[in-house]
Chain A
């Protein structure tokens, strides 16, 4: 019976001690501990979801990178092709133009030459006429002075002509 008879003093002290302990621990231990643990758990959850998010984003980025790369490659190919075509076109055009120009130049050169030739012929004709007149003049003058002298004159003149 002794064992199961609670004593008033111990009831009093236990109540006082436990209630005090509960209040003190709640304020100075459980609250900070639980807050810290909760904060950390939240942190971990957040970090995990953030990592998951980052992973997804990474995959997205990779995919979009791949796409961009492909697009760029295609664009490059198209550009190259276009450039090549353009080059061929330019070259062809240039060739054509050069040919046209050359022909024109040749034609103009030919025309010039022709003109020059005609001018030269005209000039020659003039000179021949002048020369003929000169010769005739000198022949007429030589005849007037002697036979030998005429012959010598004629030779001289002929030689002069040859020289020209």
Chain B
């Protein structure tokens, strides 16, 4: 019962946050919409999906309420740090921050070396014919929204499993409360993921890694469903790192048998020139699929939920506030449905990523038979 209430509260606050975040956008771009009679939800959705230098709660432009995060840049003149609030919520290259004799400006969440002078639109960035920025970029090592999400996840995991680990000492090995909730998941990963795919003889070495990757992805996925607006596992950089780590673990633990299958596949000699390149590509397609799968699933979930919420604003822009109220229940019901689905997806994707990693590791340590 308590869990249901929590979930509903979570959903409501999520929907409300999104509504808050989107509402001013409607009023701000009112003049444009007046002409076209439509609302374009893409910028709002992309803004949410993308990483950012602050955690944005509501409001637009100067009125935005957000928590600024530290910007850390590796520039031509070395390390430069300042708080993201120095951009004054500007995200169109209109505001310049000067450090160490260099000028920086921000456009669409990316930090560029600013031009000496603004152009006719007030932008310190020059664009090519397609509208892409031509300015150079310093290496951006900022503590972005996603990095904060990762740190929060680290903290949550260390707190949860630190206390679970301690509880075994005080409780005489009997799982209670939090441990009672976590232990089945740990045993599930150990038995149904590690042992089942790697094999009785060799699975033990990989259990800590698989547990870490499972809970890391799981907590990040769930964090993405909270109203805090994180989209960490829906970021290609994060899934890239996870997939590469999975690849490295697979390759490091690979035995003779595995390499033999790749460089000397058991096929007729004539087929070998064909098979060997395919096998080599196969090494990389597996983690590549891991990367894309997690990224696409989580991003798609966020996009669908945001799109359904946007229906209300599309209706408002198209047919007025009355229509927006009319559409709201349907949009809400659909969001609720997708949200519940996303909770399932959060678990499912963490499971699939870990399962496939275990499967690949299992293939690499499999003995010849």
Identify the closest chain A residue to B109 (Cβ): A2
Q: Which of A2, A18, A36, A39 contacts B216 (CB 8 A)?
A: A18
CA separation between A56 and B108, bound complex, in Å? 76
A33–B208 CA distance with the chains assembled, in angstroms:
10
Q: Does A152 contact B (CB under 8 A)?
A: no
Asked if A145 is at the interface of the complex by the 8 Å CB criterion, the answer is no
Q: Is the CB of A2 within 8 A of B50?
A: yes
Other-chain residue from A3, A4, A10, A29 in contact with B164 (beta carbon distance below 8 A): A29
| A30 touching B211 in the complex, CB below 8 Å, given contacts A12-B141, A21-B216 | yes
Judge if B66 is at the interface, Cβ distance under 8 Å.
no
CB neighbours (8 Å) of A30 from chain B are 161, 186, 207-208, 211-212
- Binary contact track B95-116/A, C-beta < 8 Å → 1, others 0: 0000000000000100000000
Q: Give the chain A neighbours of B165 by CB distance below 8 A.
A: 28-29, 32-33, 36
B193 CB, nearest partner CB in chain A, Å: 14
CB-based contact A13/B157 at 8 Å:
no
Instruction: Give the complex CA separation of A40 and B240 in angstroms.
Output: 38
CB closest chain-A residue, reference B160: A29
Given contacts A18-B242, A33-B186, A37-B187, contact A7 B207 (CB under 8 A): no
Count contacts on B: residues with CB < 8 A to the other chain: 48
A8 to B72, CA, bound (A): 12
Q: Report how far A11 CA is from B299 CA in the complex, Å.
A: 18
Give the chain A neighbours of B235 by CB distance below 8 A: 6, 10
Q: How far is the CA of A43 from the CA of B173 in the complex (A)?
A: 11
In the complex with contacts A25-B157, A30-B207, A3-B49 CB distance below 8 A: yes
Q: Which residues from B are CB-within-8-Å of A12?
A: 141
Whether A14 lies near B212 (C-beta < 8 A) is no
A9 contacts chain B at the CB level, 8 A cutoff: yes
- Whether the pair B208, A3 counts as a contact (CB closer than 8 A) is no
Contact with B along A84-114 (1 / 0, CB 8 A): 0000000000000000000000000000000
How distant is the Cα of A30 from the Cα of B51 in the complex, in angstroms? Answer: 31
Question: A18 contacts which chain B residues (CB < 8 A)?
Answer: 150, 212-213, 216, 241-242, 245
Taken residue by residue from 128 to 171, chain B's Cβ proximity to chain A (1 for < 8 Å, 0 otherwise) reads as: 00000000000111111011001100100110011011101100
CB distance from A25 to the nearest CB of B (A): 5
The binding surface of chain B is classed by DSSP as: helix
Residues in B whose Cβ lies below 8 Å from that of A9: 72, 139-142, 144, 147
B237 within 8 A of A: yes
Interface residues of A in 28-62 (CB under 8 A from B): 28-34, 36-37, 39-40, 43
Bound-state Cα–Cα, A39 to B173, Å: 9
Nearest CB of chain B from residue A57's CB, rounded to whole Å: 27
Q: Give which listed residue, B72, B168, B213, B236, contacts A5 with CB less than 8 A.
A: B236
Say yes or no for A79: interface residue by CB 8 A criterion.
no
Interface residue from A2, A3, A37 paired with B186 (Cβ < 8 Å): A37
Interface positions of B (Cβ within 8 A of A): 46, 49-51, 72, 108, 139-144, 146-147, 150-151, 154, 157-158, 161-162, 164-166, 168-169, 173, 183, 186-187, 190, 207-209, 211-213, 216, 235-238, 240-242, 245, 295, 299
Using a CB–CB distance below 8 Å, which chain A residues touch chain B?
Answer: 2-15, 17-22, 24-26, 28-34, 36-37, 39-40, 43
CB-defined A-B contacts under 8 Å, sample of 10: A10-B238, A13-B143, A15-B245, A18-B213, A18-B245, A21-B212, A30-B208, A33-B168, A33-B183, A33-B186
